[in-house]
Amino acid sequence: MKTHYVLVDFENVQPKNVGLLTGGPFKFKVFVGANQAKVPLEMARALQAFGPDAEYVQIDGNGSNALDFHITYYLGRLSAENPGVTFHVISKDSGFDPLIKHLMSKGVVCSRVKSIADIPLIAVPGSKSIPVGVEAVIENLTKRKAAKPRTLRTLRSTIKALFGGELAEEGLDGLIEELNIRGAIKVSNGKVHYELPT
């Protein structure tokens, strides 16, 4: 599977649920401002699981859009050095959109999203979309043992809660479909039967 870079505008968004991407083909660059001295422990622990595939980039100096220019530099450099890589910019700043549109026109797969949960599906050119959080869902369901959701409706609400309530219906549908394809679940008349790893 191709690498996906997640570039986080930490001045703008402090993403939750980073751990949902563990085990996937992700590399993180978290851009922090010159005056940002603290990162929440929960996020630091989640990023630690990525080992050398996660790094903090603290910018020098202040100024309007200073951090945005750093992200822009890395987007350009990484896309030139790694053809075929997919990029996700985590930011609420729509100022990135014209750049992303330009990159897409040049064949660079790139998107701007407001949270980890907003990228529930990764579009892999030439293949089917793959839900990024499916491994985390399987791990969560396995840990539940006998307390797993028994109906499709309850399973959907359980998965949505796992993503902090931020998962779009399209992403939820994709995750359920992927669980079916992998044989982790079988749904019959609204009832869910599990074939999870032990």
Q: State pLDDT tens for residues 103-112.
A: 888 888 888 8
Model pLDDT, residue 175 = 80
Q: State pLDDT tens for residues 94-142.
A: 999 999 888 888 888 888 888 876 664 444 333 344 455 677 788 788 8
Q: Residues 35-42: contacts with CB within 8 Å, 24+ apart?
A: 35/62, 36/10, 36/11, 39/10, 40/14, 42/16
Model pLDDT, residue 124 = 37
Q: Please report the domains of the chain, with CATH numbers, ordered by start residue.
A: 4-119 (3.40.50.1010), 130-194 (1.10.10)
Distance of CA 84 to the CA centre of its chain: 18
Q: How confident is the model at residue 54 (pLDDT cuts 50, 70, 90)?
A: very high
The residue among 61 and 171 whose pLDDT is bigger is 61
Q: What is the dihedral of CA 19, 22, 28, 33, to 10 degrees?
A: 10
Mean pLDDT of the chain: 83
Rounded to whole angstroms, how far apart are CA atoms 145 and 87? 36
Q: Is the pLDDT of residue 181 over 60?
A: yes
Query: 3-state SS string over the chain?
Result: CCCEEEEEECCCCCCCCHHHHCCCCEEEEEEECCCCCCCCHHHHHHHHCCHHHEEEEECCCCCCCHHHHHHHHHHHHHHHHCCCCEEEEECCCHHHHHHHHHHHHCCCCEEEECCHHHCCEECCCCCCCEECCHHHHHHHHHHCHHHCCCEHHHHHHHHHHHCCCCCCHHHHHHHHHHHHHCCCEEEECCEEEECCCC
Model pLDDT, residue 132 = 57
Q: State pLDDT tens for residues 148-175.
A: 999 999 999 988 877 666 566 777 787 8
Rounded to whole angstroms, how far apart are CA atoms 196 and 140? 11
Q: State pLDDT tens for residues 63-86.
A: 888 899 999 999 999 999 998 888
The residue among 187 and 114 whose pLDDT is bigger is 187
Q: State pLDDT tens for residues 35-49.
A: 888 888 888 888 998
Q: State pLDDT tens for residues 13-27.
A: 888 778 777 777 889
Rounded to whole angstroms, how far apart are CA atoms 197 and 139? 9
